Chain A
């Protein structure tokens, strides 16, 4: 069973886990994802790969606690084991020389940018990285991403750090001053939609990494279907990267709300249980 080699809490409710998974790491490429299942009761959760160490055979993922399964994952520590780690899944991000590439990350979507930036750099691109969060304490990985990018711009909604505003404000600034060959966006659906809307007006190719509701991750259930250029695609096998100018974001946003109520109830009752067990102790 996969053991947690290292856990780091990067921000409130945001944790980084490193696993030893040589077989997955050997095959994994930037842009792919894994599915993990923490315990017998847990969901199969798709997670973008946030780091790969080919020599050591380790894989990094970053988890945001949003529901019961992710909260349980967040409660695990270095040395704990999870039941299942499965992958690599999906198509790798299409790499190549695009001249200047802007990598845009929002919230938890900042984490998987690291292997992407490394990849784009290895193809000789100039990489400008834009990362954004609601507030300074939620802005993760600035140093790490800055160390591999040519330039990094941070934004916060509340102006507590970097540029006050959204990642799209910073992106508009970059698009005005530079000729950009590709924009790669990873983050909340609304952010990826806003980025795609903006780059469309500049006619700059834009890829987005989608993370819809998914069960098996092998093309079997079709739960992750997204509309791209008017046709259904399965994010798990055809994606997760798609042309942002072709994605039906409205449908994606709607489908992401499918289990909102159930998930909220399940998370709340889990938190109650955790609180009660703490009291007993």
Chain B
């Protein structure tokens, strides 16, 4: 039997396609499934601080989507991906993993970061570039540029990230951002714990593993 499509159904399908193409997808940060690690060095030993909180969102532009069965993101303009990103890390949620005096280390870090006046570390994306096709099912790799605010001072930064689509409309963003404390007006601490002066190195590495969940925005 020959099937004649109903005009109303055709209209609905067309309309849905247009809406889909014009829709932005906003991924909101989730309270679970996130980690932040800050690795540093010192004259005595390396040190590490950890947290599990990154707030904010990623909003992809109209038509952009990440389908894990594809080798490239859908909806790119050249190799650029239209996206807005705001990531927020409260300084108070980052804690020392030291065996000795972790609370003192936390206090020292918060003083160093001027946490009473500047309670968050914030990142805002300015450009996102796709690195190149990859095997389907693997995370998408990007280079990002943006503005990072630490202790109230803003600097332009760039670092690579990977984004892996997960089940349930979630994505996981993994990245590593090297920074120098002095670039942000932060003096590397040199505490005296009674065992001689310890001097922290200027360079630290911020590693993050950020889980977000989609919420479609019309």
The answer to whether A binds B is no
Interface residues of A (CB under 8 A from B): none
